Chain A
Amino acid sequence: MKAQAPVETADTFRRQALAATVIVKKNALLYYLKPPVLIFGVLFPVFFFMAFKMGRPIAPQEIVPGMLAMALWFTASAVGPLVTPWERRAGTYERLIATPVSLKAILAGDVASGVLFGSCLSAVPIALGLTLTESEVSSPALLVCGIILGALAFSSLGVLLAAPPASSPSNIMLLSNLVRLPLLFVSGIFLPISQMPAWARWAAPLSPLSYASALIRSGFGRPGYFPPWLCVLMLAVFAVVFFHGACCFHRRWRARAL
Protein backbone atom coordinates (compact mmCIF):
# COMPACT_ATOMS: atom_id res chain seq x y z
CA MET A 1 0.00 0.00 0.00
CA LYS A 2 2.82 2.38 0.90
CA ALA A 3 4.34 2.01 -2.56
CA GLN A 4 1.07 3.01 -4.19
CA ALA A 5 0.67 6.30 -2.39
CA PRO A 6 3.17 8.35 -4.46
CA VAL A 7 1.68 6.96 -7.70
CA GLU A 8 -1.79 8.02 -6.62
CA THR A 9 -0.46 11.43 -5.66
CA ALA A 10 1.29 11.85 -8.99
CA ASP A 11 -1.85 10.73 -10.81
CA THR A 12 -4.00 13.13 -8.82
CA PHE A 13 -1.57 15.95 -9.53
CA ARG A 14 -1.56 15.09 -13.24
CA ARG A 15 -5.39 15.06 -13.36
CA GLN A 16 -5.62 18.39 -11.54
CA ALA A 17 -2.95 19.94 -13.79
CA LEU A 18 -4.89 18.75 -16.86
CA ALA A 19 -8.09 20.19 -15.39
CA ALA A 20 -6.28 23.52 -14.85
CA THR A 21 -5.35 23.60 -18.55
CA VAL A 22 -9.02 22.98 -19.40
CA ILE A 23 -9.90 25.98 -17.22
CA VAL A 24 -7.30 28.09 -19.08
CA LYS A 25 -8.81 27.09 -22.41
CA LYS A 26 -12.32 27.88 -21.18
CA ASN A 27 -11.23 31.27 -19.84
CA ALA A 28 -9.43 32.13 -23.08
CA LEU A 29 -12.51 31.27 -25.15
CA LEU A 30 -14.96 33.04 -22.89
CA TYR A 31 -13.27 35.99 -21.22
CA TYR A 32 -10.25 37.29 -23.13
CA LEU A 33 -12.41 39.37 -25.43
CA LYS A 34 -14.93 40.54 -22.82
CA PRO A 35 -15.19 44.36 -22.79
CA PRO A 36 -14.05 44.80 -19.14
CA VAL A 37 -10.87 42.81 -19.83
CA LEU A 38 -10.11 44.86 -22.93
CA ILE A 39 -10.94 48.17 -21.25
CA PHE A 40 -9.07 47.60 -17.98
CA GLY A 41 -6.38 45.39 -19.50
CA VAL A 42 -5.56 47.11 -22.79
CA LEU A 43 -7.09 50.59 -23.07
CA PHE A 44 -6.25 51.65 -19.51
CA PRO A 45 -2.46 51.27 -19.83
CA VAL A 46 -2.44 52.85 -23.31
CA PHE A 47 -4.19 55.98 -22.10
CA PHE A 48 -2.15 56.13 -18.90
CA PHE A 49 0.98 55.96 -20.99
CA MET A 50 -0.18 58.66 -23.37
CA ALA A 51 -1.22 60.95 -20.50
CA PHE A 52 2.22 60.48 -18.95
CA LYS A 53 4.24 60.87 -22.11
CA MET A 54 2.62 63.81 -23.88
CA GLY A 55 4.44 67.08 -23.46
CA ARG A 56 7.29 65.66 -21.36
CA PRO A 57 10.88 65.76 -22.55
CA ILE A 58 11.70 62.10 -21.99
CA ALA A 59 13.59 59.99 -24.49
CA PRO A 60 11.21 57.34 -25.90
CA GLN A 61 13.60 54.46 -25.13
CA GLU A 62 13.60 55.56 -21.47
CA ILE A 63 9.93 54.82 -21.07
CA VAL A 64 9.67 51.52 -22.94
CA PRO A 65 10.42 49.36 -19.84
CA GLY A 66 7.89 51.30 -17.77
CA MET A 67 5.27 51.05 -20.48
CA LEU A 68 5.82 47.32 -20.73
CA ALA A 69 5.66 46.84 -16.96
CA MET A 70 2.45 48.88 -16.74
CA ALA A 71 0.82 46.99 -19.62
CA LEU A 72 1.76 43.70 -17.95
CA TRP A 73 0.40 44.94 -14.62
CA PHE A 74 -3.01 45.76 -16.08
CA THR A 75 -3.38 42.85 -18.50
CA ALA A 76 -2.23 40.02 -16.22
CA SER A 77 -4.33 41.22 -13.30
CA ALA A 78 -7.45 41.91 -15.41
CA VAL A 79 -8.57 38.30 -16.04
CA GLY A 80 -8.90 37.07 -12.45
CA PRO A 81 -11.27 39.79 -11.19
CA LEU A 82 -13.56 39.13 -14.13
CA VAL A 83 -13.79 35.33 -14.33
CA THR A 84 -15.09 34.39 -10.86
CA PRO A 85 -17.78 37.11 -10.45
CA TRP A 86 -18.88 36.58 -14.03
CA GLU A 87 -19.28 32.86 -13.41
CA ARG A 88 -21.06 33.50 -10.11
CA ARG A 89 -23.56 35.75 -11.85
CA ALA A 90 -24.09 33.28 -14.70
CA GLY A 91 -24.54 30.41 -12.25
CA THR A 92 -21.74 28.39 -13.87
CA TYR A 93 -19.47 28.78 -10.83
CA GLU A 94 -21.52 26.36 -8.73
CA ARG A 95 -21.41 23.75 -11.46
CA LEU A 96 -17.66 24.26 -11.87
CA ILE A 97 -16.91 23.69 -8.19
CA ALA A 98 -19.11 20.57 -8.19
CA THR A 99 -16.73 18.92 -10.68
CA PRO A 100 -13.86 16.75 -9.46
CA VAL A 101 -11.46 19.65 -9.84
CA SER A 102 -9.97 21.04 -6.66
CA LEU A 103 -10.38 24.70 -5.84
CA LYS A 104 -6.60 25.03 -6.08
CA ALA A 105 -6.63 23.69 -9.65
CA ILE A 106 -9.50 26.01 -10.63
CA LEU A 107 -7.64 29.02 -9.24
CA ALA A 108 -4.35 27.84 -10.78
CA GLY A 109 -6.18 27.75 -14.11
CA ASP A 110 -7.42 31.30 -13.53
CA VAL A 111 -3.90 32.46 -12.64
CA ALA A 112 -2.45 30.76 -15.72
CA SER A 113 -5.11 32.47 -17.84
CA GLY A 114 -3.91 35.84 -16.58
CA VAL A 115 -0.25 34.93 -17.12
CA LEU A 116 -0.95 33.84 -20.68
CA PHE A 117 -3.03 36.94 -21.44
CA GLY A 118 -0.48 39.32 -19.91
CA SER A 119 2.57 37.64 -21.44
CA CYS A 120 1.07 37.50 -24.92
CA LEU A 121 -0.10 41.12 -24.85
CA SER A 122 3.28 42.28 -23.53
CA ALA A 123 4.64 41.39 -26.96
CA VAL A 124 2.87 44.50 -28.31
CA PRO A 125 4.77 47.15 -26.28
CA ILE A 126 8.01 45.21 -26.78
CA ALA A 127 7.51 45.16 -30.55
CA LEU A 128 6.52 48.83 -30.61
CA GLY A 129 9.43 49.78 -28.34
CA LEU A 130 12.02 47.91 -30.39
CA THR A 131 10.63 49.12 -33.70
CA LEU A 132 9.87 52.75 -32.98
CA THR A 133 12.59 53.65 -30.48
CA GLU A 134 16.27 52.93 -30.04
CA SER A 135 15.60 50.51 -27.20
CA GLU A 136 17.52 47.24 -27.12
CA VAL A 137 17.12 44.11 -25.08
CA SER A 138 20.48 43.60 -23.41
CA SER A 139 19.46 40.62 -21.27
CA PRO A 140 16.63 38.51 -22.73
CA ALA A 141 16.77 36.19 -19.69
CA LEU A 142 16.05 39.04 -17.26
CA LEU A 143 13.35 40.43 -19.53
CA VAL A 144 11.57 37.06 -19.87
CA CYS A 145 12.00 36.45 -16.16
CA GLY A 146 10.48 39.83 -15.39
CA ILE A 147 7.54 39.24 -17.72
CA ILE A 148 6.76 35.69 -16.57
CA LEU A 149 7.30 36.19 -12.83
CA GLY A 150 5.62 39.60 -12.95
CA ALA A 151 2.61 38.17 -14.79
CA LEU A 152 2.45 35.32 -12.26
CA ALA A 153 2.42 37.70 -9.28
CA PHE A 154 -0.02 40.15 -10.90
CA SER A 155 -2.38 37.43 -12.06
CA SER A 156 -2.36 35.83 -8.60
CA LEU A 157 -3.21 39.25 -7.14
CA GLY A 158 -6.12 39.48 -9.61
CA VAL A 159 -7.44 36.08 -8.54
CA LEU A 160 -7.10 37.07 -4.87
CA LEU A 161 -9.09 40.25 -5.52
CA ALA A 162 -11.89 38.14 -7.07
CA ALA A 163 -12.46 36.30 -3.78
CA PRO A 164 -14.94 38.69 -2.04
CA PRO A 165 -18.48 37.35 -2.40
CA ALA A 166 -19.73 39.79 -5.02
CA SER A 167 -21.71 38.52 -7.99
CA SER A 168 -21.27 41.67 -10.02
CA PRO A 169 -18.02 41.91 -12.02
CA SER A 170 -18.15 45.73 -11.79
CA ASN A 171 -17.88 45.62 -7.97
CA ILE A 172 -14.79 43.44 -8.16
CA MET A 173 -13.31 45.58 -10.94
CA LEU A 174 -13.81 48.62 -8.71
CA LEU A 175 -12.04 46.88 -5.84
CA SER A 176 -9.20 45.74 -8.07
CA ASN A 177 -8.66 49.26 -9.38
CA LEU A 178 -8.66 50.60 -5.83
CA VAL A 179 -5.69 48.31 -5.20
CA ARG A 180 -3.95 48.45 -8.57
CA LEU A 181 -3.93 52.20 -9.16
CA PRO A 182 -2.22 53.31 -5.90
CA LEU A 183 0.37 50.57 -6.33
CA LEU A 184 1.01 51.76 -9.88
CA PHE A 185 2.02 55.23 -8.67
CA VAL A 186 4.53 54.02 -6.07
CA SER A 187 6.25 51.47 -8.32
CA GLY A 188 8.63 53.69 -10.24
CA ILE A 189 6.73 53.51 -13.52
CA PHE A 190 6.22 57.22 -14.05
CA LEU A 191 9.10 58.43 -11.92
CA PRO A 192 12.22 56.49 -10.88
CA ILE A 193 11.81 55.25 -7.29
CA SER A 194 15.02 57.07 -6.28
CA GLN A 195 13.41 60.41 -7.26
CA MET A 196 10.11 59.77 -5.45
CA PRO A 197 9.27 61.36 -2.08
CA ALA A 198 10.35 59.49 1.04
CA TRP A 199 6.93 58.04 1.85
CA ALA A 200 6.65 56.63 -1.68
CA ARG A 201 10.14 55.13 -1.43
CA TRP A 202 8.99 53.35 1.70
CA ALA A 203 5.84 52.12 -0.02
CA ALA A 204 7.57 50.98 -3.22
CA PRO A 205 8.90 47.65 -1.81
CA LEU A 206 5.30 46.67 -0.93
CA SER A 207 4.30 46.63 -4.58
CA PRO A 208 5.10 43.63 -6.81
CA LEU A 209 5.10 46.02 -9.76
CA SER A 210 8.24 47.72 -8.35
CA TYR A 211 10.20 44.47 -8.68
CA ALA A 212 8.79 43.53 -12.10
CA SER A 213 9.53 47.03 -13.34
CA ALA A 214 13.10 46.88 -12.03
CA LEU A 215 13.67 43.44 -13.58
CA ILE A 216 12.27 44.55 -16.94
CA ARG A 217 14.45 47.69 -16.84
CA SER A 218 17.47 45.44 -16.23
CA GLY A 219 16.41 43.38 -19.24
CA PHE A 220 16.56 46.55 -21.36
CA GLY A 221 19.97 47.40 -19.94
CA ARG A 222 18.69 50.21 -17.70
CA PRO A 223 19.63 50.43 -14.02
CA GLY A 224 16.92 49.00 -11.73
CA TYR A 225 16.18 50.28 -8.23
CA PHE A 226 16.37 46.72 -6.84
CA PRO A 227 18.99 44.09 -7.78
CA PRO A 228 17.70 41.35 -10.13
CA TRP A 229 18.11 38.56 -7.56
CA LEU A 230 15.91 40.42 -5.08
CA CYS A 231 13.32 41.09 -7.80
CA VAL A 232 13.15 37.39 -8.72
CA LEU A 233 12.85 36.39 -5.07
CA MET A 234 10.22 38.99 -4.20
CA LEU A 235 8.07 38.28 -7.27
CA ALA A 236 8.12 34.58 -6.40
CA VAL A 237 7.17 35.39 -2.80
CA PHE A 238 4.35 37.71 -3.91
CA ALA A 239 3.02 35.03 -6.31
CA VAL A 240 3.01 32.36 -3.59
CA VAL A 241 1.46 34.64 -0.95
CA PHE A 242 -1.24 35.96 -3.29
CA PHE A 243 -2.12 32.47 -4.55
CA HIS A 244 -2.24 31.02 -1.06
CA GLY A 245 -4.40 33.95 0.06
CA ALA A 246 -6.67 33.44 -2.96
CA CYS A 247 -7.16 29.75 -2.06
CA CYS A 248 -7.98 30.62 1.58
CA PHE A 249 -10.41 33.45 0.82
CA HIS A 250 -12.14 31.74 -2.09
CA ARG A 251 -12.73 28.71 0.16
CA ARG A 252 -13.93 30.86 3.07
CA TRP A 253 -16.32 32.98 0.99
CA ARG A 254 -17.47 30.29 -1.42
CA ALA A 255 -20.80 29.60 0.35
CA ARG A 256 -21.62 33.30 0.72
CA ALA A 257 -20.98 33.95 -2.93
CA LEU A 258 -23.54 31.45 -4.26
Chain B
Amino acid sequence: MTGAAVIDVQGLTRRFGPLTAVDHVDFQVGKGELFGFLGPNGAGKTTTVRMLTGVIEPSEGTASIEGHDVRLEPVLSRAHLAVVPEQANVYLDLSVRRNVMLMAQLHGVARRQRIRESERLLELTGLADRGRHKARTLSKGLRQRLMLCAALVTDPDILFLDEPTAGLDVKSARLIRRVVRDMNSDGLTVFLTTHNMEEAEEMCSRVAIINHGRIAAVDSPSRLRTRVESSRYVEVVFADEAGSVANLAAIEGVRQVSTEGRFRRLYADSPARVAAGLIDFAAQKGVEITHVCTREPSLEDIFIELTRAGPGEGT
Protein backbone atom coordinates (compact mmCIF):
# COMPACT_ATOMS: atom_id res chain seq x y z
CA MET B 1 0.00 0.00 0.00
CA THR B 2 1.28 3.48 -0.83
CA GLY B 3 0.21 6.62 0.99
CA ALA B 4 -1.66 7.02 4.27
CA ALA B 5 -4.52 4.62 4.98
CA VAL B 6 -7.89 6.24 4.35
CA ILE B 7 -9.70 3.01 5.12
CA ASP B 8 -8.38 1.08 8.09
CA VAL B 9 -10.09 -2.16 9.02
CA GLN B 10 -9.01 -4.14 12.10
CA GLY B 11 -10.64 -7.37 13.19
CA LEU B 12 -13.94 -6.39 11.64
CA THR B 13 -16.60 -8.99 12.36
CA ARG B 14 -20.32 -9.20 11.75
CA ARG B 15 -22.57 -11.94 13.03
CA PHE B 16 -26.18 -12.58 12.08
CA GLY B 17 -27.39 -14.91 14.80
CA PRO B 18 -25.25 -18.04 14.62
CA LEU B 19 -23.84 -17.09 11.21
CA THR B 20 -20.55 -15.18 11.08
CA ALA B 21 -20.76 -13.33 7.77
CA VAL B 22 -17.49 -11.42 8.21
CA ASP B 23 -14.87 -12.90 10.49
CA HIS B 24 -12.03 -10.75 11.87
CA VAL B 25 -11.15 -9.03 8.64
CA ASP B 26 -8.07 -6.77 8.46
CA PHE B 27 -6.94 -4.54 5.59
CA GLN B 28 -5.99 -0.98 4.77
CA VAL B 29 -6.63 1.10 1.68
CA GLY B 30 -4.25 3.94 0.85
CA LYS B 31 -5.14 7.40 -0.36
CA GLY B 32 -5.64 7.45 -4.13
CA GLU B 33 -5.68 3.65 -4.44
CA LEU B 34 -8.06 1.73 -6.66
CA PHE B 35 -8.65 -1.23 -4.37
CA GLY B 36 -10.47 -4.35 -5.52
CA PHE B 37 -12.53 -6.46 -3.12
CA LEU B 38 -13.15 -9.87 -4.60
CA GLY B 39 -14.92 -12.96 -3.39
CA PRO B 40 -17.49 -15.56 -4.36
CA ASN B 41 -21.19 -15.07 -3.64
CA GLY B 42 -21.89 -15.08 0.09
CA ALA B 43 -18.24 -14.50 0.98
CA GLY B 44 -19.00 -11.35 2.99
CA LYS B 45 -18.21 -8.61 0.46
CA THR B 46 -21.48 -6.72 0.71
CA THR B 47 -21.62 -7.08 4.50
CA THR B 48 -18.12 -5.60 4.72
CA VAL B 49 -19.08 -2.70 2.46
CA ARG B 50 -22.26 -2.12 4.48
CA MET B 51 -20.23 -1.90 7.67
CA LEU B 52 -17.75 0.49 6.09
CA THR B 53 -20.51 2.72 4.75
CA GLY B 54 -22.31 2.79 8.10
CA VAL B 55 -25.39 0.93 6.92
CA ILE B 56 -24.96 -1.84 9.49
CA GLU B 57 -22.91 -1.90 12.67
CA PRO B 58 -20.01 -4.30 13.21
CA SER B 59 -20.40 -6.95 15.90
CA GLU B 60 -16.71 -6.70 16.73
CA GLY B 61 -13.56 -4.94 15.56
CA THR B 62 -13.04 -1.45 14.21
CA ALA B 63 -13.12 0.32 10.89
CA SER B 64 -12.25 3.91 10.19
CA ILE B 65 -12.78 6.13 7.19
CA GLU B 66 -10.33 9.05 6.95
CA GLY B 67 -9.58 8.55 10.64
CA HIS B 68 -13.22 8.53 11.76
CA ASP B 69 -14.45 5.36 13.44
CA VAL B 70 -17.54 4.15 11.57
CA ARG B 71 -19.24 3.23 14.84
CA LEU B 72 -18.28 6.18 17.02
CA GLU B 73 -18.41 8.91 14.36
CA PRO B 74 -20.77 7.53 11.72
CA VAL B 75 -21.83 10.85 10.24
CA LEU B 76 -18.28 12.18 9.98
CA SER B 77 -17.04 8.96 8.39
CA ARG B 78 -19.89 8.94 5.88
CA ALA B 79 -19.17 12.55 4.94
CA HIS B 80 -16.05 11.30 3.13
CA LEU B 81 -17.64 8.62 1.02
CA ALA B 82 -20.17 7.96 -1.69
CA VAL B 83 -21.68 4.63 -2.69
CA VAL B 84 -22.73 3.17 -6.02
CA PRO B 85 -24.55 -0.06 -5.14
CA GLU B 86 -25.02 -2.95 -7.56
CA GLN B 87 -28.74 -2.31 -7.77
CA ALA B 88 -29.31 1.04 -9.48
CA ASN B 89 -31.65 2.25 -6.76
CA VAL B 90 -32.47 5.67 -8.07
CA TYR B 91 -35.65 7.51 -7.12
CA LEU B 92 -37.75 6.42 -10.09
CA ASP B 93 -40.34 9.19 -9.79
CA LEU B 94 -37.79 11.99 -9.60
CA SER B 95 -36.17 13.47 -12.68
CA VAL B 96 -32.58 12.58 -13.52
CA ARG B 97 -31.40 16.03 -12.46
CA ARG B 98 -33.39 15.97 -9.18
CA ASN B 99 -31.86 12.60 -8.32
CA VAL B 100 -28.38 14.08 -8.64
CA MET B 101 -29.30 17.25 -6.77
CA LEU B 102 -30.92 15.29 -3.94
CA MET B 103 -27.70 13.43 -3.18
CA ALA B 104 -25.71 16.67 -3.38
CA GLN B 105 -28.11 18.36 -0.95
CA LEU B 106 -27.98 15.45 1.49
CA HIS B 107 -24.18 15.76 1.47
CA GLY B 108 -24.45 19.51 2.08
CA VAL B 109 -22.86 20.54 -1.24
CA ALA B 110 -23.23 24.31 -1.77
CA ARG B 111 -25.91 25.34 -4.26
CA ARG B 112 -23.60 26.88 -6.87
CA GLN B 113 -21.22 23.94 -6.75
CA ARG B 114 -23.95 21.31 -7.00
CA ILE B 115 -25.52 23.00 -10.03
CA ARG B 116 -22.15 23.31 -11.79
CA GLU B 117 -21.01 19.79 -10.91
CA SER B 118 -24.31 18.12 -11.75
CA GLU B 119 -24.27 19.66 -15.23
CA ARG B 120 -20.66 18.62 -15.77
CA LEU B 121 -21.25 15.06 -14.59
CA LEU B 122 -24.47 14.62 -16.56
CA GLU B 123 -22.53 15.74 -19.63
CA LEU B 124 -19.65 13.41 -18.80
CA THR B 125 -21.92 10.39 -18.46
CA GLY B 126 -24.03 11.15 -21.51
CA LEU B 127 -27.17 12.02 -19.53
CA ALA B 128 -27.27 15.77 -20.17
CA ASP B 129 -30.14 15.59 -22.64
CA ARG B 130 -32.19 13.45 -20.23
CA GLY B 131 -31.96 15.78 -17.23
CA ARG B 132 -35.71 16.43 -17.17
CA HIS B 133 -36.73 12.82 -17.79
CA LYS B 134 -38.00 10.72 -14.89
CA ALA B 135 -35.47 8.13 -13.80
CA ARG B 136 -37.96 5.33 -14.45
CA THR B 137 -37.64 6.01 -18.19
CA LEU B 138 -33.92 5.14 -18.14
CA SER B 139 -32.46 1.76 -19.07
CA LYS B 140 -30.42 -0.20 -16.53
CA GLY B 141 -27.17 1.09 -17.99
CA LEU B 142 -28.32 4.70 -17.88
CA ARG B 143 -29.62 4.29 -14.31
CA GLN B 144 -26.20 3.03 -13.26
CA ARG B 145 -24.61 6.06 -14.92
CA LEU B 146 -27.06 8.21 -12.98
CA MET B 147 -26.00 6.46 -9.76
CA LEU B 148 -22.40 7.30 -10.56
CA CYS B 149 -23.32 10.95 -11.20
CA ALA B 150 -25.25 11.13 -7.92
CA ALA B 151 -22.23 9.69 -6.08
CA LEU B 152 -19.61 11.89 -7.71
CA VAL B 153 -21.57 15.13 -7.33
CA THR B 154 -20.96 14.85 -3.59
CA ASP B 155 -17.22 15.27 -4.21
CA PRO B 156 -16.28 12.20 -2.13
CA ASP B 157 -12.79 11.28 -0.96
CA ILE B 158 -13.64 7.59 -1.26
CA LEU B 159 -15.98 6.00 -3.77
CA PHE B 160 -17.48 2.59 -2.98
CA LEU B 161 -18.54 0.70 -6.09
CA ASP B 162 -20.44 -2.55 -5.63
CA GLU B 163 -20.47 -4.54 -8.88
CA PRO B 164 -20.88 -1.31 -10.84
CA THR B 165 -20.89 -2.88 -14.30
CA ALA B 166 -22.75 -6.15 -13.57
CA GLY B 167 -25.29 -6.82 -16.30
CA LEU B 168 -24.64 -3.58 -18.16
CA ASP B 169 -24.28 -3.06 -21.89
CA VAL B 170 -20.71 -2.77 -23.15
CA LYS B 171 -20.96 0.96 -23.78
CA SER B 172 -22.21 1.82 -20.29
CA ALA B 173 -19.70 -0.54 -18.65
CA ARG B 174 -16.80 1.01 -20.56
CA LEU B 175 -17.97 4.52 -19.80
CA ILE B 176 -18.27 3.79 -16.08
CA ARG B 177 -14.80 2.20 -15.98
CA ARG B 178 -13.30 5.14 -17.86
CA VAL B 179 -14.91 7.75 -15.60
CA VAL B 180 -13.83 5.86 -12.47
CA ARG B 181 -10.27 5.47 -13.74
CA ASP B 182 -10.08 9.16 -14.65
CA MET B 183 -11.39 10.19 -11.23
CA ASN B 184 -8.90 7.82 -9.60
CA SER B 185 -6.09 9.45 -11.61
CA ASP B 186 -7.24 12.76 -10.13
CA GLY B 187 -6.78 11.38 -6.60
CA LEU B 188 -10.11 9.74 -5.76
CA THR B 189 -9.76 6.58 -3.67
CA VAL B 190 -11.90 3.79 -5.10
CA PHE B 191 -13.10 0.64 -3.29
CA LEU B 192 -14.34 -1.69 -6.01
CA THR B 193 -16.32 -4.83 -5.22
CA THR B 194 -16.58 -7.04 -8.26
CA HIS B 195 -16.98 -10.56 -9.60
CA ASN B 196 -15.47 -9.49 -12.89
CA MET B 197 -11.83 -10.59 -12.74
CA GLU B 198 -10.91 -8.86 -15.98
CA GLU B 199 -12.31 -5.63 -14.60
CA ALA B 200 -10.37 -6.05 -11.36
CA GLU B 201 -7.17 -6.96 -13.19
CA GLU B 202 -7.53 -4.02 -15.54
CA MET B 203 -8.40 -1.42 -12.93
CA CYS B 204 -7.08 -2.34 -9.47
CA SER B 205 -3.65 -1.60 -8.09
CA ARG B 206 -4.33 -3.93 -5.13
CA VAL B 207 -6.96 -6.49 -4.36
CA ALA B 208 -8.28 -8.31 -1.33
CA ILE B 209 -9.82 -11.72 -1.77
CA ILE B 210 -12.42 -12.68 0.81
CA ASN B 211 -13.72 -16.20 1.23
CA HIS B 212 -16.14 -17.53 3.86
CA GLY B 213 -15.94 -14.18 5.66
CA ARG B 214 -12.14 -14.23 5.99
CA ILE B 215 -9.48 -12.47 4.00
CA ALA B 216 -7.59 -15.02 1.90
CA ALA B 217 -5.09 -12.54 0.45
CA VAL B 218 -4.40 -8.82 0.10
CA ASP B 219 -1.81 -7.74 -2.44
CA SER B 220 -1.22 -6.40 -5.93
CA PRO B 221 -2.34 -8.74 -8.73
CA SER B 222 1.30 -9.14 -9.86
CA ARG B 223 2.49 -10.18 -6.40
CA LEU B 224 -0.47 -12.49 -5.92
CA ARG B 225 0.63 -14.32 -9.07
CA THR B 226 3.82 -15.40 -7.34
CA ARG B 227 1.65 -17.21 -4.77
CA VAL B 228 0.12 -19.34 -7.48
CA GLU B 229 3.23 -20.40 -9.36
CA SER B 230 1.60 -23.72 -10.16
CA SER B 231 -0.72 -21.89 -12.57
CA ARG B 232 2.04 -20.68 -14.94
CA TYR B 233 1.82 -22.26 -18.36
CA VAL B 234 2.75 -22.21 -22.06
CA GLU B 235 -0.13 -21.74 -24.45
CA VAL B 236 0.20 -23.25 -27.89
CA VAL B 237 -1.95 -23.70 -31.00
CA PHE B 238 -0.95 -26.12 -33.75
CA ALA B 239 -1.82 -25.67 -37.43
CA ASP B 240 -3.48 -29.07 -37.40
CA GLU B 241 -4.91 -30.89 -34.40
CA ALA B 242 -2.27 -33.65 -34.56
CA GLY B 243 -0.30 -32.52 -31.50
CA SER B 244 -1.44 -35.12 -29.05
CA VAL B 245 -1.76 -34.20 -25.40
CA ALA B 246 0.05 -37.37 -24.37
CA ASN B 247 3.07 -36.47 -26.49
CA LEU B 248 3.14 -32.91 -25.19
CA ALA B 249 3.27 -34.22 -21.64
CA ALA B 250 6.56 -35.90 -22.56
CA ILE B 251 8.31 -32.52 -23.02
CA GLU B 252 10.77 -31.96 -20.22
CA GLY B 253 9.45 -29.77 -17.43
CA VAL B 254 5.74 -30.15 -18.33
CA ARG B 255 3.69 -30.95 -15.27
CA GLN B 256 0.24 -31.10 -16.78
CA VAL B 257 -1.48 -30.51 -20.13
CA SER B 258 -4.98 -29.20 -20.61
CA THR B 259 -7.03 -28.28 -23.67
CA GLU B 260 -9.28 -25.23 -24.05
CA GLY B 261 -10.76 -25.32 -27.56
CA ARG B 262 -7.84 -24.94 -29.98
CA PHE B 263 -5.50 -23.93 -27.17
CA ARG B 264 -3.25 -26.43 -25.41
CA ARG B 265 -1.91 -25.36 -22.01
CA LEU B 266 1.36 -26.84 -20.77
CA TYR B 267 1.67 -26.14 -17.04
CA ALA B 268 5.27 -25.84 -15.84
CA ASP B 269 7.46 -24.26 -13.18
CA SER B 270 9.62 -22.75 -15.95
CA PRO B 271 7.38 -21.89 -18.92
CA ALA B 272 10.25 -20.30 -20.89
CA ARG B 273 12.27 -23.55 -20.85
CA VAL B 274 9.20 -25.56 -21.82
CA ALA B 275 8.51 -23.13 -24.71
CA ALA B 276 12.00 -23.82 -26.07
CA GLY B 277 11.43 -27.57 -25.69
CA LEU B 278 8.10 -27.20 -27.46
CA ILE B 279 9.76 -25.61 -30.52
CA ASP B 280 12.20 -28.56 -30.71
CA PHE B 281 9.31 -30.99 -30.23
CA ALA B 282 7.34 -29.40 -33.10
CA ALA B 283 10.40 -29.44 -35.37
CA GLN B 284 11.00 -33.13 -34.63
CA LYS B 285 7.36 -34.07 -35.26
CA GLY B 286 7.03 -31.76 -38.28
CA VAL B 287 4.07 -29.99 -36.73
CA GLU B 288 3.49 -26.29 -37.46
CA ILE B 289 2.92 -23.98 -34.51
CA THR B 290 0.61 -21.02 -35.27
CA HIS B 291 0.63 -19.50 -31.79
CA VAL B 292 2.81 -19.90 -28.73
CA CYS B 293 3.23 -17.77 -25.64
CA THR B 294 3.95 -18.07 -21.95
CA ARG B 295 1.21 -17.08 -19.51
CA GLU B 296 1.29 -15.93 -15.95
CA PRO B 297 -1.70 -16.98 -13.85
CA SER B 298 -4.60 -14.57 -14.33
CA LEU B 299 -6.39 -12.96 -11.43
CA GLU B 300 -9.14 -15.47 -12.10
CA ASP B 301 -6.64 -18.33 -11.59
CA ILE B 302 -5.51 -16.74 -8.34
CA PHE B 303 -9.09 -16.24 -7.26
CA ILE B 304 -10.01 -19.85 -8.01
CA GLU B 305 -6.92 -21.09 -6.21
CA LEU B 306 -7.45 -18.98 -3.12
CA THR B 307 -11.18 -19.50 -2.82
CA ARG B 308 -10.98 -23.25 -3.38
CA ALA B 309 -10.10 -23.72 0.28
CA GLY B 310 -12.81 -24.10 2.89
CA PRO B 311 -13.42 -21.75 5.82
CA GLY B 312 -10.22 -20.75 7.51
CA GLU B 313 -8.00 -22.60 5.08
CA GLY B 314 -7.46 -19.84 2.63
CA THR B 315 -4.99 -17.66 4.45
Question: B56: which of A16, A19, A95, A258 is its contact (CB, 8 Å)?
Answer: A258
Interface residues of B in 52-76 (CB under 8 A from A): 53-57, 74-76
- Whether the Cβ atoms of B106 and A91 lie closer than 8 Å is no
Minimum distance in angstroms from B84 CB to a CB of chain A? 9
Minimum distance in angstroms from A244 CB to a CB of chain B? 18
How many angstroms from the CA of A254 to the CA of B53 in the assembled complex? 13
**Chain B residues touching A, majority SS:** loop
How many angstroms from the CA of A111 to the CA of B29 in the assembled complex? 39
Residue of B nearest to A19 (CB): B106
Q: Is B210's CB within 8 Å of the partner chain A?
A: no
Residue of B nearest to A96 (CB): B106
- Whether the Cβ atoms of B102 and A22 lie closer than 8 Å is yes
Which of B1-9, B88-96, B119-127, B171-179 is near enough to bind chain A? Answer: B88-96
CB neighbours (8 Å) of B91 from chain A are: 26, 30, 90, 92
How many angstroms from the CA of A29 to the CA of B105 in the assembled complex? 15
CB neighbours (8 Å) of A97 from chain B are: 54-55
- Whether the Cβ atoms of B55 and A102 lie closer than 8 Å is no
- Whether the Cβ atoms of A26 and B102 lie closer than 8 Å is yes
Minimum distance in angstroms from A164 CB to a CB of chain B? 17
How many angstroms from the CA of A196 to the CA of B122 in the assembled complex? 62
Minimum distance in angstroms from B113 CB to a CB of chain A? 15
Interface size counted on chain B using CB atoms at 8 A: 29
Interface residues of A in 91-132 (CB under 8 A from B): 91-92, 94-102
Q: Is A255's CB within 8 Å of the partner chain B?
A: yes
- Whether the Cβ atoms of A95 and B79 lie closer than 8 Å is no
Minimum distance in angstroms from A130 CB to a CB of chain B? 35
How many angstroms from the CA of A69 to the CA of B92 in the assembled complex? 34
Interface size counted on chain A using CB atoms at 8 A: 25
- Whether the Cβ atoms of A98 and B78 lie closer than 8 Å is yes
- Whether the Cβ atoms of A254 and B94 lie closer than 8 Å is no
Report which residue of B91, B106, B107 has the largest number of chain A beta carbons within 10 angstroms of its beta carbon.
B106
- Whether the Cβ atoms of B75 and A102 lie closer than 8 Å is yes
Q: Is A12's CB within 8 Å of the partner chain B?
A: yes
- Whether the Cβ atoms of A91 and B85 lie closer than 8 Å is yes
How many angstroms from the CA of A98 to the CA of B83 in the assembled complex? 7
- Whether the Cβ atoms of B106 and A94 lie closer than 8 Å is no
Question: A95: which of B75, B76, B85, B98 is its contact (CB, 8 Å)?
Answer: B85
CB neighbours (8 Å) of B78 from chain A are: 98-100
Q: A100-B107, A100-B108 are in contact. Are A30 and B57 (CB under 8 A)?
A: no
Q: Is B50's CB within 8 Å of the partner chain A?
A: yes
Report which residue of A15, A26, A100 has the largest number of chain B beta carbons within 10 angstroms of its beta carbon.
A100
- Whether the Cβ atoms of B85 and A100 lie closer than 8 Å is no
CB neighbours (8 Å) of B98 from chain A are: 29
Q: Which 10 A-B pairs have the closest CB atoms?
A: A91-B89, A100-B79, A255-B56, A100-B78, A98-B53, A99-B106, A22-B105, A98-B83, A91-B87, A92-B89
25 contacts between A and B (CB under 8 A): A16-B75, A18-B105, A19-B108, A23-B106, A26-B91, A26-B102, A29-B94, A30-B93, A30-B94, A90-B89, A90-B91, A94-B55, A95-B83, A95-B89, A97-B54, A98-B53, A98-B54, A99-B103, A99-B107, A100-B76, A100-B78, A102-B74, A102-B75, A255-B56, A255-B57
